[in-house]
Amino acid sequence: MKSFDEVGENYSSDLIKDLLNKITPEEQEQIDYKMQIAKMLYMALKAKGWRNIDLAEKMKLKSPSLVSKWLSGTHNFTIETLVQLQRLLDIRLLNIMPDANSTTLNVKLIVDANRAPLTKDDLNHLQQVIDDAGGLQPTIVTVTQ
């Protein structure tokens, strides 16, 4: 049997290795998401200078212990709670809804100096493409030679 001095910092454990190998990528992803949400809540609370009890009051919770649970990174949140937390803490926890302020529509605009200026039909066509993509208002940029 090896002595402690022989093992030193090179100790390795088959038990730990086996357990780490048993966690599926899906299970780890679920853990990661829960902990990431907790971290974002923690950072947002710090940024606002709020304590757990402040958030509990704003969320109309009976006890701040639920906030501790949220921050522990083990909680399964409902959509209702996440939406409420987003609004109160000014953070984005769910990124599936289109946001008029941040959505970018990539439009390839080819400028050809030999072509006639954009006609009303061209603009209507461009508006149609933009409408189909989500109904954003186009910004017309005048390109001069």
Partner 1 sequence: MASIYSLLTDVKSGTFFDHFIAENNEKYPAELMNIVGRLKRIGNEDSALTVYFKLDEGLDWDDLVCALYDTPDKHLRLYCIRLSKSIIVIGSGGSKNVRAWQDDVKLSREVNEMMHYSRIIRTRLKNGDLRISTDGLRFEGDLLLTK
Nearer to partner 1, 66 or 88 (CB): 66
Of 54, 59, 64, 75, which lies in the binding site for partner 1, with binding defined by CB under 8 A?
Answer: 75
Burial of residue 55, with CB atoms counted within 10 A of its CB: 0-12 exposed, 13-18 middle, 19 or more buried: buried
Residue 63 touching partner 1 (CB under 8 A): no
Give me the count of residues in the chain: 145
Nearer to partner 1, 82 or 126 (CB): 82
Burial of residue 37, with CB atoms counted within 10 A of its CB: 0-12 exposed, 13-18 middle, 19 or more buried: buried
**Amino acid at residue number 10:** N
**What contacts 56, CB < 8 A, 6 or more positions away?**
63, 64, 66, 67
Residue 132 touching partner 1 (CB under 8 A): no
Closest approach, Cβ 143 to partner 1, in A, equals 45
Nearer to partner 1, 5 or 99 (CB): 5
Where along the sequence are the contacts to partner 1 (CB under 8 A)?
A: 1-5, 7-9, 11, 13, 15-16, 19-20, 22-23, 27-28, 31-32, 35-36, 38-39, 42, 68-69, 71-75
